[in-house]
Structure 1
Amino acid sequence: MAGRGCRAGRAARRRRRKRDGSIQPESLSHQLRYVRLMKFLHQRGFTSTPLQPALFSDTDRGLQALHAIQPGGMLVSLPESCLLTTSTVLLSYLGPFLKRWKPPPSSLVALCVFLVCERHRGEASDWFPYIDVLPQSYSCPPYFTDSVMAVLPSGVRRRAEEQREMVRHLHASHQDFFRSLQPVLTRPAEEVLTYEALRWAWCSINTRSVFMTPPSSSFLSGPDNYALAPFLDLLNHRPDVQVKAGFNRATGCYEVRSLSGVQRHQQAFINYGSHDNQRLLLEYGFVSSCNPHSVVYVEEDLLCEAFRGGQSLDEKVLFLRENHFLDNLTVSDEGPGWRLLAALRLLSLPPLPCRHWRTVLLGQTAGEEEERSVLTAQTLCERLLKETRRSLQEISRLLQNCEQPIREQLEVVMSLRREERSILENCLEALQSTVEI
């Protein structure tokens, strides 16, 4: 299951409700857009659910349990006819255009174009009740300004820039296909299928789609496992809940069951997977408080900088890379990860024959190398902590004078950076205890 992004003004509404002391969930089911959504789903075979849309003080929009749901109870059972997949697109008015275009467009492009065209049609669209409740913008990397990019951790910034560039390339490389759709558009294709429109559609799919494999089609290319699930995608993520989710071929429905149960009037959650907050920000545009999977990553360039001038540095780095010990180097509240410590031990070695390096990776070291690696880990954490504090100061400065969409982006990054600061401070305490012992 993929998550949802922030609606414009989400952070402001959350602050206002907290300021006013409003902690009780506020039902949204009476609002016209949700009334239309439920009518749309019922017409397609959706029956009933123990959940209703509501506003919560901590997560903004989500789904509230109308009554207690026991462990193993059904949260949502959404018929296949309610899911928006590539099969939906191929059976629509876009089908003939997709089927004759060579080379075949990707499944992702097909879904993106369908969303943009349906949004362009407004209330004339069959899918308008769903599109009307989708966020207008997202706090994901394709929406990030350069100033927001600059305050991200270096590894996140690199991946965020790649993601933003990928969406730009997706738009630029499909201009001829977009122009071929002019017969079904009421305005020039370049005014409808803009970069901003495609970015919105891409983020809608990336943050909200569930995993499902429709029948394969020779008219589309690339992975085809995206399905947009109206209403179901209002479920928010929490890392400590357990659910069972997937398409049930026996019932013909995409089903989500709660394995832990939900109390009456409480928010029902889904679990997107064991993702740290960097991954959640990159893919879904939010961070999760008290995330047990959260860590701080140590990038290869910072590691090499700490040992710059050391003997056989290039050879050791190559050895680590070939043995996949430069991936996922992390620190947590409890201290450095074992992969990072293994890499530090090897890089701390005095001149030794290469045949001894593998034993070091397996944990066989002398006391001196162990102590030196712990001291280097302290140095790395101190450097990362200094950079994190500097970024938090810059975020505070930027927040003093920025518009609401940028504010929401900055607040998400600030949450990530604050968590990073806490992890690094705790890690340094753990390392100091190790040195004292």
Structure 2
Amino acid sequence: MNKPGCRAGRRAREKRRKKHEGVSEVTLTHEAQFVLLRRWLKEKGFASQSLIPVNFHDTGRGLMATQTIKAKDSVISLPEKCLLTTRTVLKSYMGDYIKRWHPPISPLLALCCFLISERYGGDASEWSSYINILPKTYTCPVYFSDDIVDLLPRSLQKKATEQKEQFQELYCSFLMFFHSLQPLFTQPTEELFTQDALRWAWCSINTRTVYMEHDQSDYLSREKDVYALAPYLDLLNHCPNVQVEAGFNKETCCYEVKSVQGCKRFQQAFINYGPHDNHRLLLEYGFVAPDNPHSVVYVDLGTLKLCLDEQDKQLTQKLLYLRDNDFLRNLTFGMNGPSWRLMTALRLLSLKPEQYTCWKSVLLGAVVSRDREEWCIHNALKLCNNLTDDNVKALERVSLIKSVHS
């Protein structure tokens, strides 16, 4: 028969073991690439003991707090020397080539070219410790095949297609600039600056940079220069329910992230990219957030046409008024039902000929009549059911694709 104290001791040990077991199995601190990254950052003045890299089961790689972070305390403070910006690029071996090129290239493209070049340099690259922990591929729509794009909601299909087209245009527009960099490499630039390489660099910057305003350079285009790659800090994952204060502190010369709510020990520390819905998160960052309070479903014009009466002689004029007053964009269903913009658009579309003079007050939110309001509610439900059906069909196609490739 065991003593009560022994049983309690075993239970306590078992509880502690279970609490830390998952973390110990997925901690990345001792992996070679992270050892080198932390050593390299320490040489540049950053040595964080309060955050360690961990592979979490739900979000993938992230940073775990090894001690409690109190509200208003600093989550991370990264010295300016650790940041990769256009200033870094212009001071590098690539700077003279960029300065000589006309018309000037964009800040984004300058960073892309530098990343591709540094990856080509391998271990000899100054930034290799950082380059080596970057993802090898991304899940942004620019990587999607056409059959995957076809699975997206119609409003998102259009934006995903536009993203792919814009990237293609970017690549084709700067083939001559890539060629001008040939003296820097032994390998032909055609083999180095490929579409795949530019897509990787483009996504690395778009998904991982922090917002940091820079003075306009005479050697770059007039596009806003607001990019800064922040090694280690960019391992912080997004959570829509977390509040942080982030920005570059000119007094400390560090990019700082401070927690508004705090973070408990052994929990994942998060950052907040902003109040983005899942469409925007997928387009810009390549993921969606479960239980996202900002999540909405978009109603595009193609779907909205389900509510239109083709016999309505004033239909063309109604659509024109909606377009001129910017009421054919951002029509959504959210957690609380149809948005004010969607209901306003439906109210204008519902107007009978004798009510048409009220269109201005309708665009300001006025309700015309009870029967017209019932028409709007009925058609909002119709739109919602249609979007639900589209979603079910898309999931069926996903299931079919998975079964074919399994």
> Structure 1 length as normaliser, TM-score?
0.85
Q: Does 1:180 align with 2:180?
A: yes
Structure 1, 328-337 or 148-157: larger mean CA deviation: 328-337
Whichever residue aligns with residue 146 of structure 1, its letter is D
Cα separation, 2, equivalents of 1:135 and 1:282: 17
Q: Residues 75 and 23 from structure 1, CA distance in 2 versus in 1: closer, same or farther, beyond 3 angstroms?
A: closer
Aligned to 1:148: 148
Indicate if the aligned counterparts of 1:75 and 1:258 stay in contact, CA closer than 8 A: yes
Q: Deviations over 1:316-356 (max 9, x none)?
A: 11111222222211112322111111111111121125431
Return the alpha-carbon distance in structure 2 between the equivalents of residues 372 and 141 of structure 1.
Answer: 37
Indicate if the aligned counterparts of 2:216 and 2:224 stay in contact, CA closer than 8 A: no
TM-fit CA distance, 1:261 = 0.5
Name the amino acid aligned to 2:88: T
Q: Does 1:394 align with 2:397?
A: yes
In the alignment, structure 2 segments of 5+ residues that lack a partner are 1-20
2:376 is aligned with 1:373:
yes
Query: What is aligned with 1:349?
Result: 351
CA contact (8 A) 2:338 2:380 kept: yes
**Range with bigger deviation, 298-307 or 283-292:** 298-307
Letter in 2 for 1:346: L
Instruction: For residue 246 of structure 1, report the CA deviation from its aligned partner.
Output: 0.2
Once the two structures are TM-superposed, the CA of residue 172 in structure 1 deviates from its matched residue by 0.9
CA distance in 2, matches of 1:388, 1:302: 13
SS at the partner of 1:64? strand
Task: Report the alpha carbon displacement of residue 238 of structure 1 after superposing the two structures with TM.
Answer: 0.4
> 1:194 & 1:283 partners in 2: Cα distance?
22
1:60 matched residue in structure 2: 60
Structure 1 gaps of 5+ residues are 1-20, 404-437
- Inter-partner Cα distance in structure 2 for 1:163 and 1:114: 22
CA RMSD of aligned residues (A): 1.4
- Indicate conservation of the 8 Å contact 1:206/1:283, yes or no: yes
Give the 4+ runs in structure 1 shifted more than 3 A.
Answer: 21-25
Matched to 1:387, the amino acid is D
Shift of 1:305: 3.6
Q: Which amino acid aligns with 2:348?
A: L
Paired-residue identity, %: 49
Q: CA deviation at 1:363?
A: 1.9
Query: What residue number does 1:245 align with?
Result: 246
**2:42 is aligned with 1:42:** yes
**Would the aligned equivalents of 1:49 and 1:75 in 2 still touch at CA under 8 Å?**
no
Answer 1 or 2: higher relative contact order, Cα 8 Å, separation at least 6.
Answer: 1
Instruction: Write the deviation string for residues 231-288 of structure 1: whole angstroms up to 9, x where unpaired.
Output: 0000000000110100000000000011111100000000000001111011100000
Given that 2:23 and 2:54 are in contact with CA atoms closer than 8 Å, whether structure 1 keeps it comes out as no
Larger Rg: 2
Closer, same or farther in 2 for the Cα pair 1:329/1:310, shift >3 Å?
A: farther
Q: 1:250 to 1:49 in 2, by over 3 A?
A: farther
Could you tell me how far apart the structure 1 residues matched to 2:346 and 2:102 are? 51
Give the TM-score taking structure 2 as reference length.
0.92
Q: How many residues align?
A: 383
Counterparts of 1:74 and 1:134 in 2: how far apart (Å)? 24
Cα contact 2:53–2:61 (8 A) shared by 1:
yes
Aligned to 1:284: 285
Please report how far the alpha carbon of residue 106 of structure 1 lies from its aligned counterpart in structure 2 after TM superposition. Answer: 0.9
Equivalent position to 2:341, from 339, 342, 345: 339
Counterpart position of 1:327:
329
Q: Which amino acid aligns with 1:267?
A: Q
The Cα of 1:24 is off from its aligned counterpart by: 6.6
Q: Mapping of 1:90-105 within 5 angstroms?
A: 90-105=90-105
